[in-house]
Homo-oligomer: A and B are copies of this chain.
Amino acid sequence: MFLGRVAGTVWSTVKWPEAKGLKLLLVRPYRLGDLPPGATPTRGGGTASEPTDDLVVCADMLDAGPGDDVIVAFGHAARVALSEQLPAGAKPNVPIDAAVVAVVDRVSIEGGEPL
């Protein structure tokens, strides 16, 4: 999993039935240098510096929005996360390989080293 900030939203018309209605977000991963010691990202206005330039597209069912700091998981873990909130009987076989699994409240970087 990685820690990242929501940078935007993707809209698409052609999707598989299982993925229909899923919100797709663009998330930028943080690197350690982006996080000052004691950093405390908060919803909608993180105190951390800018994250990296990479972009991951992931599904979101936790109502995350631009500026939020989130944790993103890949592969089977992402499909488990999505299937647990789908209506009973829905198949976990969504064609999705990344999903937001947590919205971050606080990040603690330990030690006095200049991280």
**A residues adjacent to B (C-beta < 8 A):** 1-3, 6-19, 24, 26, 28-33, 35, 50, 53-58, 62, 65-67, 71, 73-81, 84, 93-99, 101-111, 113, 115
- Asked if A55 and B75 make an inter-chain contact with CB atoms under 8 angstroms apart, the answer reads no
Bound together, the chains give a CA A109 to CA B8 distance in angstroms of 4
With a cutoff of 8 Å between Cβ atoms, the chain B residues found around residue A35 in the complex are 8, 55
Q: Which residues of B sit under 8 angstroms from A32, Cβ to Cβ?
A: 7, 26, 28, 53-55
Residue of A9, A26, A28, A78 with most partner-chain B CB within 10 A: A26
Residues of B within 8 A of A30 (CB): 55
Tell me how many chains of this kind the complex includes: 5
Give CA–CA (A7, B75) in the complex, Å: 25
B96/A1 in contact, CB under 8 A: yes
Q: Are B31 and A106 in contact (CB under 8 A)?
A: no
